[in-house]
Amino acid sequence: MKYRHTEEAKNKIRLANIGRKHTSETKQKLSLIRKGQHHTKESKLKISNTLKGRPLSTENKRKIGLANKGKKKPIGFGEKVSLFRKGKPSSFKGKHHTEESRRRFSLSHGGTGISHEFEEYPFEFDLIRPTILKRDNHTCQFCFKFGNHVHHKDHDKNNNEPSNLLTLCCSCNSKEVNVWTKNKKVNHVNINN
Is the pLDDT score of 62 beyond 50? yes
Q: What domains sit in the chain, N to C, each tagged with a CATH number? A: 116-183 (3.40.1800)
Output the pTM of the full model.
0.37
**What are the angstrom distances between the C-alpha of 111 and each of 98, 115, 155, 179?**
16, 10, 11, 10
Average pLDDT value for residue range 84-111: 78
Average pLDDT along the chain: 81
pLDDT of residue 106: 73
Read off φ and ψ for residue 10, nearest 5 degrees. -60, -40
Determine contact, residues 171/144, Cβ cutoff 8 Å.
no
How far, in Å, CA of 110 to CA of 171, rounded? 13
25: confidence class by pLDDT, cuts 50, 70, 90 = very high
146-180 pLDDT, tens per residue? 999 998 888 788 889 999 999 998 888 877 655 55
Looking at per-residue pLDDT, the higher value among 50 and 119 belongs to 50
pLDDT of residue 165: 92
Amino acid at 24: S
Average pLDDT value for residue range 115-140: 83
Q: Coil, helix or strand for 168?
A: strand
pLDDT of residue 63: 92
167 DSSP β-pair partners: 150
pLDDT of residue 185: 45
Is the pLDDT score of 108 beyond 80? no
Determine contact, residues 111/117, Cβ cutoff 8 Å.
yes
